Structure 1
Amino acid sequence: MLDAWTLFFVITTFALYIGIAIWARAGSTDDFYVAGHDVHPTVNGMATAADWMSAASFLSMAGLIAFMGYGGSVYLMGWTGGFVLLALLLAPFLREFGKFTVPDFVGDRYYSTTARIIAVVCALFVSFTYIAGQMKGVGVAFSGFLGVPFEWGIAIGMVIVFFYAVLGGMKGVTYTQVAQYCVLIFAFTVPAIFMSLIITGNPVPQLGFIGEAKGEGVAMLTKLNTVLNDLGFGEYTRSDKARIDMFCITAALMFGTAGLPHVIIRFFTVKSAGAARVSAGWALVFIALLYTTAPAVGAFARINFIDTVNESTYIADNEDYDARAAEIEADGGKPVPTWYKTWETTGLLAFEDKNGDGVMQYRGPDAPDGVENEVSPDRDIFVLANPQIANLPGWVIGLVVAGGLAAALSTAAGLLMVISSAVSHDLCRRTIFKDMTDKDELRVARASAAGAVLAAGLLGIFSSQLGFVAQVVAFAFGLAAASLFPVIFLGIFWKRMNREGAIAAMVTGLATTFGYIYWFKFVDTDPAHWLFGVSPEGIGFVFMWVAAAVGVVVALATKAPPQDIQDLVEDIRVPGMRTPHGSGDTEMAPLSDR
């Protein structure tokens, strides 16, 4: 029954997504890049929420909160605060400028082909790093319900996303993301309600999280703290992370959000700067439904995992599970749960019988009884595995699988649009082949999206070496914060910022942040050597200030921007003073290099 329900939800939702992509097939470059600029703000808000709530939000955030406790809140706070920053500080002004992409903004604002090309490189670095995390999420979801290796799960996801991203462009992606939001939010909240009722007796997960454990007369979080302490883990409501690192990770996620190309481009799909503000408000409402539920899901997941796995007797693959489980129960023991055996086939759960007693010991580094830990779970599986761990109905389990896939694929599609537009529009039409027709550009956009799907799949397989989904995504946010945020922010709010300063800032931010991440993930993995105690996930915030300072110094030391550029900066800060590109008969002429 589990397989039947899962297949039903997955096949039904995928058929819906592909059907929408065919219905909303892009017929022009405007449709392919920005959905014709005519998406309703509420619809765009829902699509933005789906684009924003990726596999990191749906699959990984609750899982990392489950295992990091309070320390995992940096992701929740950073991503939420970042979207507010983007909605209030940048989105309306970028929409008023009216270009297709972030490199388009950089190229015209800084009157430079070189700046445009560097912005393309930054956007590709950020997007490919981000999409690696999404494809890992796709692999986790597919491997979990199909029982295939992780790599095969990614390959299947590549085929699906190819259809609706390459065929429909931004128009198809937008309306597909509306459907995906409905699927993912329903899939996330329904099992959370079930688990809250089981563990706390309260149907509202947010209230159950801070309430009492059912029938025990003690706060749910107090019970969890006690259990974790007894097993040698730190208290759930405390964090071992250094305060400076928590601050920097939170800030890198915030400012990185405001520099993410795939989120910014969503605000170009509405008619005006005012509509961009309204759609941002709706997106925050839609995002809050999941983000306020995630801490409860994480806490419930940790309790259920410990209850079902710790002190369970392992059953080998060559044994008859039912017969051996009955034998274990007859002797007063607890057999390894069936959900564990299901996920073990994916390679995302592992048991090493270190003492040879056949009993699974789940312990922390400071276990009072001195027992070594024998169970190694991948944090990214827990939202998907939660309904199975809690023995929820088969239809709930199938729904969650469909929701996880919707979350990963919706963001992957948005990122593919950034990659394809960066190659076809910013690199080809605006830089190399300036006489390219709309028809040729559309062909190149589809071809580059197809190539990006293949590259994304390979990166997804590689990302398993980098860490869990949210950690990989955090690297993308750091790159965006250091390379793109300074030039976007200064380009809007400081008219003295020139092309030399922008180029210097982007190169500095990208090179330092990427170099730091690479060095401390692959060369020197000792945290004691981190600069100021800041991890690779948070270093983008530090180098953001370095990049901004370099940009300002270089700008002041070189010639000021032309007067028409300075007038343009004044104009875009007053919505309605100019006609945005694509919103009417008057289009701003591209600015040539000076």
Structure 2
Amino acid sequence: MELQTTIYLFVGLSFALYLGIAFWARAGSTSEFYVAGGGVHPITNGMATAADWMSAASFISMAGLISNMGYGGAVFLMGWTGGYVLLAMLLAPYLRKFGKFTVPEFIGDRFYSKTARNIAVLCLLVASLTYIIGQMTGVGVTFARFLGVTSEQGIYIGMAIVFAYAVFGGMKGITYTQVAQYCVLISAYLVPAFFISLNLTGNPFPQLGLGSDFIGTDVSLLSKLDQVVTDLGFNQYTTTAAGSKLNMFVYTVSLMIGTAGLPHVIVRFFTVPKVADARASAGWALVFIALLYTTAPAVGAMAKFNLHATVNTAAVTGGDLYAADASLKYEARPDWMKRWEKTGLLKFEDKNGDGRIQYYNSATKNEAVKAKADAAGWKGNELSVNADIIVLANPEIALLPNWVIALVAAGGLAAALSTAAGLLLAISSAVSHDLIKGAINPNISEKGELMAGKIAMAAAIFVAGWLGLNPPGFAAGTVALAFGIAASTIFPALMMGIFSKTISDKGASAGMLAGLAVTLFYVFAHKGIFFIKGTAYLDLIGGANAFFTITPEAFGTVGAIVNFAVAYLVSKMSAPVPQHIQELVESVRVPKGAGSAAAGH
């Protein structure tokens, strides 16, 4: 069966499965719409949580970022995994014990303030809408390559699919659909990784293959990769850091606390019957997540090596990388290159007119590399490869069977759609439950609230699609802003709400606003989103990365520190927290039956 037909078959069957499950598990009440009726089994919830967690950023982008950045890409691996551990240990069980539908509802009740609840809604909407841009972009990229449509048409198709199962199914439909999507995406990630690891190292397990010897030699795969990339002027793969040590640290922390503060995953722990089930589902989710996250470094490194080996055959043979016949002839480029060139995510420019593809770091400061490139007649790097294609193109680069390529296509779409559905539900819940029922019309009926939730979901899909088609300049190509906003606003509010009885309503509100303001200011100054006549954007903050070399993507940590500090200071100057709220915090934090012991301290 030819490749395109195989892709249509795999993607079509996966979509039919999602829609069938959504029809079977459609929501009939607000409880089913928001939290799937609260009766999801911990293993089922763990699998659905893993699918919700592992977005297009995890499936499509993370290994690509690691492939491009080398060791420095570990910030994403550590940050996103560590964030899940924070959520599972410090937030999920307590929020489940609180027993409400949404994160803003917890913040509103804990801080006895509609203002705090509305600020939380604002932060949730900004973070979720920013994050969803990346998911819709991932849908567009995957459709564009594998279904032969434009990225815009791909986004429209993705919107229609999500609409079909999210609006009618709510959390109940999304939960069981995400179980199916997890099975698809993890198969799509692991199967090609097994094949490629076996081809390169003789070890079928990529986690072990990463540290194994390159097949037929006594040189490790990573050592060989280091040799190839440094000979071509790139930084050593295994030691390159993401900026300064301080920036790498705060970047990791920002991703961790930002991930723990993203509400579309937090709400998953409201879907299980008991607090013990929330803990159990957190453990299961970690197992399911680990399958992909422990594989990603191997996928990134092996894809990097395969790409170099495709363009420069001397990478495998150990010959002269700068020999006249070492570079790939453009007219002899493999079919996968031709297919990805059509998407615009892989580009070639023949700068020296020799009809061959030179792929090296022409901006290197290594004089030996420059001398070799000049002697070979090279006039600059001629190949541009977008990091987002690494995972999707990996089985094609490795010349794997068509069914593996088709499986990866279905997996990429499953990853993007599963997280998009979770984000859309969080947005819908914030609008219908926290704004309409919580602030505008508290007496709305359950039927009316359910309808409002579905309308809000449909509107959110429309807005998400529009943002995917017209991404704003400050968010295009990255979801770092979403993590920064969640890190600087929602996470501190939840932590203080659970573990402190002295933070007041005014303190929490002021903290969230302060964290949001400083983070947006720093990020937007870098991205040029200030309309101040005659003022250079970066002059407002003293230049690029002026605050202790911290990049805007990592600034969520600073925003969180500001949030904590402002909340504490304002609370000190405010009226004391009411006694019944202190008792609420105690009841949420202390295990059942321990209240009397705690009261004696």
Partner of 2:523: 517
Aligned pair partner of 1:551 in 567, 580, 597? 567
The 8 Å contact of residues 330 and 355 in structure 2, kept in 1 or not, is answered as: no
Partner of 1:453: 461
- Once the two structures are TM-superposed, the CA of residue 375 in structure 1 deviates from its matched residue by 1.3
Partner of 2:194: 193
Are residues 1:341 and 2:347 paired? no
- Once the two structures are TM-superposed, the CA of residue 456 in structure 1 deviates from its matched residue by 1.1
The 8 Å contact of residues 55 and 418 in structure 2, kept in 1 or not, is answered as: yes
Aligned pair partner of 2:509 in 503, 508, 516? 503
Given the superposition, is the C-alpha separation of residues 234 and 467 from structure 1 closer, same or farther in structure 2, using an over 3 Å criterion? farther
- Once the two structures are TM-superposed, the CA of residue 311 in structure 1 deviates from its matched residue by 8.3
Question: Could you tell me which amino acid in structure 2 is paired with residue 553 of structure 1?
Answer: L
Q: Distance in 1 between matches of 2:451 and 2:593?
A: 35
Question: Could you tell me which amino acid in structure 2 is paired with residue 359 of structure 1?
Answer: R
Given the superposition, is the C-alpha separation of residues 399 and 468 from structure 1 closer, same or farther in structure 2, using an over 3 Å criterion? farther
Partner of 1:300: 302
**356-365 or 37-46, larger mean C-alpha shift:** 356-365
Partner of 2:283: 281
Are residues 1:441 and 2:443 paired? no
Partner of 2:490: 484
> Where do 5+ consecutive residues of structure 1 fail to align?
313-327, 579-594
Are residues 1:137 and 2:134 paired? no
Are residues 1:10 and 2:11 paired? yes
Q: Distance in 2 between matches of 1:333 and 1:177?
A: 42
The 8 Å contact of residues 428 and 460 in structure 2, kept in 1 or not, is answered as: yes
Question: Could you tell me which amino acid in structure 1 is paired with residue 190 of structure 2?
Answer: T
Partner of 1:262: 264
Partner of 1:34: 35
- Once the two structures are TM-superposed, the CA of residue 4 in structure 1 deviates from its matched residue by 1.4
Q: Distance in 1 between matches of 2:561 and 2:49?
A: 28
Q: Distance in 2 between matches of 1:572 and 1:332?
A: 66
- Once the two structures are TM-superposed, the CA of residue 258 in structure 1 deviates from its matched residue by 1.8
Given the superposition, is the C-alpha separation of residues 91 and 247 from structure 1 closer, same or farther in structure 2, using an over 3 Å criterion? same
Partner of 2:181: 180
Given the superposition, is the C-alpha separation of residues 384 and 333 from structure 1 closer, same or farther in structure 2, using an over 3 Å criterion? closer
SS of corresponding position for 2:577: coil
- Once the two structures are TM-superposed, the CA of residue 179 in structure 1 deviates from its matched residue by 0.5
- Once the two structures are TM-superposed, the CA of residue 525 in structure 1 deviates from its matched residue by 7.4
Q: Distance in 2 between matches of 1:462 and 1:304?
A: 34
The 8 Å contact of residues 378 and 468 in structure 1, kept in 2 or not, is answered as: no
- Once the two structures are TM-superposed, the CA of residue 256 in structure 1 deviates from its matched residue by 1.0
Per-residue CA distance 1:538-584 (angstroms, 9 max, x = gap): 10001100111001100111001211111100011124469xxxxxx
Partner of 1:398: 406
Partner of 1:82: 83
**524-533 or 415-424, larger mean C-alpha shift:** 524-533
The 8 Å contact of residues 130 and 475 in structure 2, kept in 1 or not, is answered as: no
Q: Distance in 1 between matches of 2:232 and 2:466?
A: 38
SS of corresponding position for 1:561: coil
Are residues 1:383 and 2:399 paired? no
Q: What is the correspondence of 1:311-326 to structure 2 with a 5 Å cutoff? A: none
SS of corresponding position for 1:202: coil
Partner of 2:231: 230
Are residues 1:353 and 2:350 paired? yes
Q: Distance in 1 between matches of 2:480 and 2:144?
A: 24
Q: What is the correspondence of 1:111-190 to structure 2 with a 5 Å cutoff? A: 111-190=112-191
Q: Distance in 1 between matches of 2:19 and 2:476?
A: 29
> Where do 5+ consecutive residues of structure 2 fail to align?
315-324, 530-536, 595-601
Aligned pair partner of 2:551 in 512, 527, 535? 535
Q: Distance in 2 between matches of 1:308 and 1:160?
A: 36
SS of corresponding position for 2:299: helix
RMSD value, Cα: 2.0
- Once the two structures are TM-superposed, the CA of residue 530 in structure 1 deviates from its matched residue by 3.4
Question: Could you tell me which amino acid in structure 1 is paired with residue 307 of structure 2?
Answer: F
Aligned pair partner of 2:254 in 245, 252, 255? 252
**460-469 or 16-25, larger mean C-alpha shift:** 460-469
The 8 Å contact of residues 109 and 565 in structure 1, kept in 2 or not, is answered as: yes
- Once the two structures are TM-superposed, the CA of residue 147 in structure 1 deviates from its matched residue by 2.7
**525-534 or 409-418, larger mean C-alpha shift:** 525-534
Partner of 2:580: 564
Partner of 2:425: 417
Partner of 2:360: 363
**359-368 or 167-176, larger mean C-alpha shift:** 359-368
Partner of 2:321: none
SS of corresponding position for 1:497: coil
Are residues 1:211 and 2:212 paired? yes
Q: Distance in 1 between matches of 2:538 and 2:517?
A: 19
SS of corresponding position for 1:96: helix
Per-residue CA distance 1:395-449 (angstroms, 9 max, x = gap): 0000001001101100000000000000000000111011111111111111111
Partner of 1:319: none
The 8 Å contact of residues 149 and 347 in structure 1, kept in 2 or not, is answered as: no
Percent of aligned positions with the same letter in both sequences?
A: 58
Q: Distance in 2 between matches of 1:260 and 1:333?
A: 45
- Once the two structures are TM-superposed, the CA of residue 309 in structure 1 deviates from its matched residue by 3.0
Q: Distance in 2 between matches of 1:158 and 1:311?
A: 42
The 8 Å contact of residues 104 and 430 in structure 2, kept in 1 or not, is answered as: yes
TM-score by length of 1: 0.91
TM-score by length of 2: 0.90
**Aligned residues between the structures:** 560
Q: Distance in 2 between matches of 1:474 and 1:451?
A: 24
Partner of 1:52: 53
The 8 Å contact of residues 147 and 343 in structure 1, kept in 2 or not, is answered as: no
